[in-house]
A = this chain, B = another copy of it.
């Protein structure tokens, strides 16, 4: 008799695992059942801001593979609109509610893949009957926001709460749709995923787009009129608005796991080993936005919900479930985004992370250009490096600049991954031609500057 794999969550991690397991084990050997709460599988949540802005016209484009494709081509029994409500590890069963038809199903498993993802952080004031308050987590969320923006009376003002990636991307998307946008950020700056000196460059660009940025300010409540949100309440008074978008980040969707006795780590996410197994629970696997992972630089567990990790982790779990061997080797916190034309990349530790991890370090900021200075379109590129002292080992890097700036963080990410020192890095053989770089690449200029600073402080 075939064994059965049950996958909880049909997005990047869950469907990668399911497909990889299927690739190695045929349907006679392994039945695969996926429970997905929403309508879709394997879609790009990261693409939602671009759908809202209108840059991407059809949400179908965000769907990599439909449930139907998984059913017919992969022989994976995908059950959308089914929410798993309990896991019984003793009896090796899950209980799921059919959100469309009602009723419950109870299915046994041999292998369980927990890929329940993350849920948006939603403050209590956002629990409201008033229309016009949106999280941006699923395609369904995106569709609801689009309907609201297109509805009558047509919203003219928006408040985005929280200045992380989604908040910043949504602020841009709403500006592009012609709304007047205020971003409310509890900290000193939006884009706190980079250090303050680099984040300021991003804030400048956002102001240039016309976004009003209110910092050191918390939303504490909502006002409504006729069942529609009419303002957010803050200590500095109400900010009138026709729509509120939450960009307060996400937390691991681990409640179901915790209730079942699956152990969580210090970040509140599910703990897994290198093969994505839940320690101590044979046949139980987890991957994606619901798990914590090793940060290779700090050596500490982190919760970094990102599709690229979810894909890799799901693939690793699926290979292992399929009888192969694969490991997930941790993350270094690489991320890229853009605010209009301004590009932002980061990898490794920020200054505050390096301090928290106990490192002694120096940091440098080097200004250069993305092309040879004389080449048309050359623009400023700012590279920040954080290096351990006295060893010179790279701990983190950030880039802010225009055309072709963000993805250059990958060069630094690979250097960081390999434990290079800034001194090693000055020797790197990087591509040079006038349309792409000055003869001293911005990365090399920054590395040289870091070497000089290290020599000066340790003299």
B-side contacts of A55, CB under 8 Å: 375-376
Instruction: Evaluate contact between B434 and A47: CB separation under 8 angstroms.
Output: yes
Chain B minimum-CB-distance residue to A327 = B427
Measured between alpha carbons, how far is A55 from B437 in the docked complex, in Å? 16
Q: Does A205 contact B (CB under 8 A)?
A: no
**B47, B347, B375, B413: the one within 8 Å of A374 (CB):** B47
Instruction: Evaluate contact between A435 and B338: CB separation under 8 angstroms.
Output: yes
Q: Does A441 contact B (CB under 8 A)?
A: yes
Q: Assuming the A-B contacts A47-B375, A374-B47, A375-B56, are A431 and B409 also in contact, with contact meaning beta carbons closer than 8 angstroms in the complex?
A: yes
Measured between alpha carbons, how far is A308 from B414 in the docked complex, in Å? 20
Q: Assuming the A-B contacts A328-B427, A375-B56, are A432 and B44 also in contact, with contact meaning beta carbons closer than 8 angstroms in the complex?
A: no
B-side contacts of A411, CB under 8 Å: 410-411, 413-414
B-side contacts of A239, CB under 8 Å: none
B-side contacts of A134, CB under 8 Å: none
Chain B minimum-CB-distance residue to A332 = B429
Q: Does A331 contact B (CB under 8 A)?
A: yes
B-side contacts of A332, CB under 8 Å: 429
One digit per residue, 1 when the CB lies within 8 angstroms of any chain B CB and 0 when it does not, for chain A 315-337 equals: 00000000000001111111111
Instruction: Evaluate contact between B406 and A407: CB separation under 8 angstroms.
Output: no
One digit per residue, 1 when the CB lies within 8 angstroms of any chain B CB and 0 when it does not, for chain A 434-459 equals: 11110111010000000000000000
Q: Does A144 contact B (CB under 8 A)?
A: no
Instruction: Evaluate contact between B413 and A415: CB separation under 8 angstroms.
Output: no
Measured between alpha carbons, how far is A435 from B61 in the docked complex, in Å? 14
Q: State which residues 353-387 of A face B: CB under 8 Å.
A: 372-376
Chain B minimum-CB-distance residue to A411 = B410
Q: Assuming the A-B contacts A414-B418, A439-B12, A439-B44, are A50 and B432 also in contact, with contact meaning beta carbons closer than 8 angstroms in the complex?
A: no
Q: Does A41 contact B (CB under 8 A)?
A: no
Measured between alpha carbons, how far is A307 from B429 in the docked complex, in Å? 11
Instruction: Evaluate contact between B410 and A417: CB separation under 8 angstroms.
Output: no
Measured between alpha carbons, how far is A332 from B319 in the docked complex, in Å? 34
Count the copies: 2
B-side contacts of A432, CB under 8 Å: 46, 306-308, 334-336
Q: Does A312 contact B (CB under 8 A)?
A: yes
Q: Does A433 contact B (CB under 8 A)?
A: yes
Q: Does A86 contact B (CB under 8 A)?
A: no
B-side contacts of A130, CB under 8 Å: none
Q: Does A140 contact B (CB under 8 A)?
A: no
Instruction: Evaluate contact between B374 and A62: CB separation under 8 angstroms.
Output: yes
B-side contacts of A410, CB under 8 Å: 408, 410-411, 428, 430-431, 441, 443
Q: Does A167 contact B (CB under 8 A)?
A: no
Q: Does A68 contact B (CB under 8 A)?
A: no
Instruction: Evaluate contact between A335 and B439: CB separation under 8 angstroms.
Output: no
Interface residues of A (CB under 8 A from B): 12, 44, 46-47, 50, 55-56, 61-62, 165, 306-309, 311-312, 328-338, 345, 347, 372-376, 404, 406-411, 413-415, 417-418, 420, 426-437, 439-441, 443
- 8 A-B contacts, Cβ less than 8 Å apart? A50-B435, A56-B376, A308-B439, A309-B429, A410-B411, A410-B431, A414-B415, A418-B420
In the complex, besides A308-B441, A410-B428, A415-B418, 14 extra interface pairs with C-beta distance below 8 angstroms are A12-B439, A44-B434, A46-B432, A47-B372, A55-B376, A330-B429, A332-B429, A335-B433, A347-B431, A407-B436, A410-B431, A413-B429, A414-B428, A418-B418
